[in-house]
Amino acid sequence: MRKAVLRAAMVAVAVVAASAASAEGVSDNTVKIGVLTDMAGVFSDLAGTGAVTAAQMAIDDFVEKEKPPFKVELVSADHQNKPDIATGIARQWYDTGGVDLITDVINSGVALAVSSVAESKSKMLIVTGSGSTRLTNEQCSPYTISYTWDTYSFANGQSRIVKSMGLDTWYFVAVDYALGKSLVAEASDAVTRSGGKIVGTVYHPISTTDLSSFLLQAQGSKAKVIGFANAGADLLNSIKAAKDFNITPGQTIVPLVGTITEVNALGAAATQGMFLVEPFYWDLDDLSRAWSKRFFDKYGKMPNFVQAGAYSAITNYLKAVQAVKTDEAATVIKHLKSTPINDMFARNGKVRADGRMVHDMYLVQVKAPGDVKQKWDYYNVKETIPADEAFQPLSTSKCKMVAQ
């Protein structure tokens, strides 16, 4: 009788232990990551297949090095820059697709919409494409991390040229949606804090091909700086139009969200002298060069910060899952917020209480064509902006998760 009772007790303990292990473990013994991006639209060169390539590299490198006890799978989809399409995909991925983490979500409207879905499903989102500060302010979420950049950090970095070069009057040509409005607001504050003056702003629709009327208004303003508050193909078209109207050297062009992708597409002759803020430069040091050359071998182009950020974000997410032995979102995020991040993308990185991953940023200037020694050798790094200075201070945060 005693043996029977003992056996029953041992079985009960085993069942409880097995249930606990299952609850704390990786669901279905598989971690599934979804890259939700723009595959064919205005931001496809910034993210798109390049971001998917970087994500797959992160998975392959992690599996080869760490040999985790769980499988890792990748899925991707095109959100077409439409929040309704993006949220539909996100819900399906989270509800029935087994996706544990969504990343990229380039386009601010898309990112904000998907962040709401992630919070409602208690699932993880790491934003590597969008830069809306609302993600870490009014619409911060315990399930969202903003990883690579935001409009505050770019505007804050660009404003440093006001004092250093005396470029103190600005006119903005901005795209008429969340990104452009956020960039204008952040850049206006930063320029004003630095002693500059905003002369005016004009907004253009997304994917506009004829920018002549907008550029003529900017040219007529006589502002020392024309700031382009747009990205991707819109930024390319803006810079081309500025050259057609011979705006430089009379006025200085400052792309508020320019990247090496646009510089390469236009060439050093068209972009020389431009100041940009970059979270990542492939030729920064040995670590960034080694990874970037591997990416180049797979993709045929050097990575921009969105693509490098995707690799870093997924790598650190997978390390966190392995460390805490679960893919449960709240547990993984808690670990990420307690662990420093230093890798090929981030220097002095850390995820704050508001979900903002802060890291060093760089003020760079495009070289003159004669100084370019090889293709993609476009930047002189003028200044490193320390992580704690680059991003919005927590003391001014509007995030509900930050103790005031």
Q: Are residues 258 and 374 in the same domain?
A: yes
Q: Are residues 258 and 323 in the same domain?
A: no
Looking at beta carbons, which pairs linking 89-96 to residues 24 or more positions away fall under 8 Å? 89/34, 89/36, 90/34, 90/36, 90/114, 90/117, 90/118, 91/117, 91/121, 93/34, 93/36, 94/118, 94/121, 94/123, 95/121
Q: Are residues 269 and 386 in the same domain?
A: yes
Q: Virtual CA dihedral for 297, 298, 301, 305, nearest 10 degrees?
A: -110
Contact between 224 and 168 under an 8 Å Cβ cutoff? The reply is yes
- Specify the amino acid at residue 372: V
pLDDT at 3 (0 to 100): 42
CA–CA dist 198, 301 (Å, integer)? 37
CA–CA dist 307, 344 (Å, integer)? 12
Q: Are residues 178 and 202 in the same domain?
A: yes
Q: Could you give the number of structural domains in the chain? A: 2
- Lowest-confidence segment of 186-195, 196-205, 297-306 by average pLDDT: 186-195
CA–CA dist 82, 320 (Å, integer)? 31
- Counting Cα atoms < 13 Å in the Cβ hemisphere of 231 gives 31
- Decide: residue 115, CB within 10 A, 0-12 exposed, 13-18 middle, 19+ buried: buried
Q: Are residues 310 and 274 in the same domain?
A: no
Instruction: Tell me which residue range forms the domain holding 69.
Output: 28-149+284-359
Q: Are residues 380 and 251 in the same domain?
A: yes
Percent of the chain with pLDDT over 90: 77
The structure's pTM equals 0.88
CA–CA dist 225, 234 (Å, integer)? 18
Q: Are residues 183 and 75 in the same domain?
A: no
Q: Are residues 352 and 366 in the same domain?
A: no
pLDDT band, residue 209 (cuts 50/70/90): confident
Contact between 366 and 268 under an 8 Å Cβ cutoff? The reply is yes
The CATH number of the domain holding residue 52 is 3.40.50.2300
Q: Are residues 171 and 139 in the same domain?
A: no
- Lowest-confidence segment of 13-17, 104-108, 112-116, 177-181 by average pLDDT: 13-17
Q: Are residues 269 and 379 in the same domain?
A: yes
Which residues, other chains included, contact 111 with Cβ-Cβ below 8 Å and sequence gap of 6+?
105, 127, 129, 130, 132, 135
pLDDT at 24 (0 to 100): 55
pLDDT at 180 over 60: yes
CB atoms within 10 A of CB 378: 26
Note the residue count of the chain.
404
In a domain, 17, yes or no: no
Q: Are residues 330 and 344 in the same domain?
A: yes
Q: Are residues 226 and 315 in the same domain?
A: no
pLDDT in tens, 254-267: 999 889 999 999 99
pLDDT in tens, 340-392: 999 999 999 999 999 999 999 999 999 999 999 999 999 999 999 999 999 99
CA dist 390 to 40, 41, 111, 160, 203, Å?
32, 30, 22, 11, 27
In a domain, 53, yes or no: yes
pLDDT at 404 (0 to 100): 55
In a domain, 114, yes or no: yes
